[in-house]
Structure 1
Amino acid sequence: MNRGARQYQGIAVLLVIVLVYVVLSRHVISTDTVVFFAAFIPSVILHEVSHGVVALAFGDDTAKRAGRLTLNPLPHIDPFGTIILPALMLLVGFAAIAYAKPVPVNVGRLRHPRNESLLVSLVGPAVNIVLAVGAALAYRVVVGSTAIPLDSHEFPQQTVPKVLLIFGFVNVILAVFNLIPIPPLDGSAVVERVLPRSWWPGYLRLRQFSLPLVLLLVLLAPQVLTRIFEPALSLWSRLLS
């Protein structure tokens, strides 16, 4: 690891410590929130690493050379998206949202860029779906046939069932959210696969503003996201009993 990377990781760790202290001192963090982030971190890391692993299998070693094919969370931390944004949202009383640093993929290095870039993008949500299904089945084994309705806004109090339920819930949200066809989300790869060449100049201009658009969608239109998430959560909840 070079000196710059060590300094970056040191700053990231310091930010985590400071912001966790501030959030805890304000008493705005609950047990469910702690479990949520404990579930979010490995879920989003596996999501991002899967992009790099599949890209490597198709001939692109960009993520490997960047040191991103690792389960160590530090290289995947985005200072704003992983630390500052969720902490600020908790401090002002909003539900926290967070994201990790995207794994770099050079589409030009793929052996068959047009088709393989689509698979590289979709493998991330696919991993989250597998994790969500696995969590639901494990929850069913642990709890039995008594499911907690997802519309009750309550999680079970027992530690293991709570962790499994929140872990599955987080992965459903990650899978569905990333399938929204807005850049830079993974679902945009489907749009790019079928987009006529004549539309590409306008599409590339739109991509410059895509991340702010996604954040505005999350912050200003949460009811839209709720409508998007509800069918998937309803389907997933059937696995719980």
Structure 2
Amino acid sequence: MTDLLGWWPELAAAVLASVLAITLHEAAHGYAALALGDPTAKLAGRLSLNPIRHVDPVGTVLLPGILLLGQLATLGRVEFMFGWAKPVPVNIWALRHPRQGMMLVAAAGPLMNFGLALIAGLLVHPLVALEGSLPREAILAGLRFVQLSILANLVLGLFNLLPIPPLDGGRIVTGLLPQALAVPYMRLERWGILIVLFGVFLLPRLAEGYDPVGWALRHVVAGAFDLVLLLTGNGGGG
């Protein structure tokens, strides 16, 4: 019970940061599709900022929950999050320009996440300005939430740019390929999540020294994190 109370602020901040990142990512897809001529998400009631509308039982609840509690139990803090939401329905043939539209709709999710990461970075300045006016614990809690928000949005945005259908990067690549290659490439979609789960979680347990998550966090996410700090006037971590 004492451990749970000690984890509570970190757990709450990580959950809130992840929920906001996932919810706004999916909403961005829906609004982009609507702007480009496809009302499918709107008709399905998925143009919503209500996180419950976007919840996937495994990807939004079970897997992130296991990762959260596992890290808190072993590390005492959250260093990595992984998950997904229920995809917003998009009918690419309802888009005014289907191939280009599909690429723009796919890109809207990661772009939203990168924008949210920059907004979170900008929030450092008012928090620091309030130092002395608020308890130190409140300032530190706010800065930790900002840190977790940047991390959650960068991980979600960058992960979704992997060129594997049904991830956003896979759909962007499909739009760039000639039709003769795009059609067979999209057939990977039914296996895409299984490919990702195998590569990210199962293969590292079978192949010693293979750690794609650790490599990505150290070299890709850490670099992107430093870039966000630099662009928002907070210096760089390097």
TM-score by length of 1: 0.76
Aligned equivalents of 1:202, 1:108: Cα separation in 2: 18
* Runs of 4 or more consecutive aligned structure 1 residues displaced over 4 Å after TM superposition: 24-30, 90-96
Aligned equivalents of 1:225, 1:182: Cα separation in 2: 16
Partner of 2:182 in structure 1?
A: 200
Partner of 1:164 in structure 2?
A: 146
1:85 counterpart = 2:70 = no
Quick check: 1:51–1:121 contact (8 Å CA) kept in 2?
Answer: yes
Number of paired residues? 208
CA deviation after TM superposition for structure 1 residue 189, in Å = 2.4
Partner of 1:71 in structure 2?
A: 49
Partner of 1:135 in structure 2?
A: 120
Equivalences for residues 81-160 of structure 1 within 5 A: 81-90=59-68, 96-143=81-128, 158-160=140-142
In structure 2, relative to structure 1, the CA distance for the partners of 1:223 and 1:63 (3 Å cut) is same
Identity of aligned residues (%): 36
CA deviation after TM superposition for structure 1 residue 106, in Å = 0.5
In structure 2, relative to structure 1, the CA distance for the partners of 1:87 and 1:29 (3 Å cut) is farther
CA deviation after TM superposition for structure 1 residue 224, in Å = 3.8
Partner of 2:134 in structure 1?
A: none
Give the aligned CA root-mean-square deviation in angstroms. 2.6
Quick check: 1:26–1:91 contact (8 Å CA) kept in 2?
Answer: no
Aligned equivalents of 1:164, 1:88: Cα separation in 2: 22
TM-score by length of 2: 0.77
Aligned equivalents of 2:161, 2:2: Cα separation in 1: 36
1:54 counterpart = 2:29 = no
Partner of 1:179 in structure 2?
A: 161
Quick check: 2:150–2:225 contact (8 Å CA) kept in 1?
Answer: no
CA deviation after TM superposition for structure 1 residue 87, in Å = 2.5
CA deviation after TM superposition for structure 1 residue 134, in Å = 1.0
CA deviation after TM superposition for structure 1 residue 64, in Å = 0.7
Tell me which moved more, 225-234 or 50-59. Answer: 225-234
Tell me which moved more, 86-95 or 223-232. Answer: 86-95
1:210 counterpart = 2:192 = yes
Aligned pair partner of 1:223 in 214, 225, 234 = 214
Partner of 1:235 in structure 2?
A: 227
Gapped regions of structure 2 (runs ≥ 5): 75-79, 130-137, 205-211
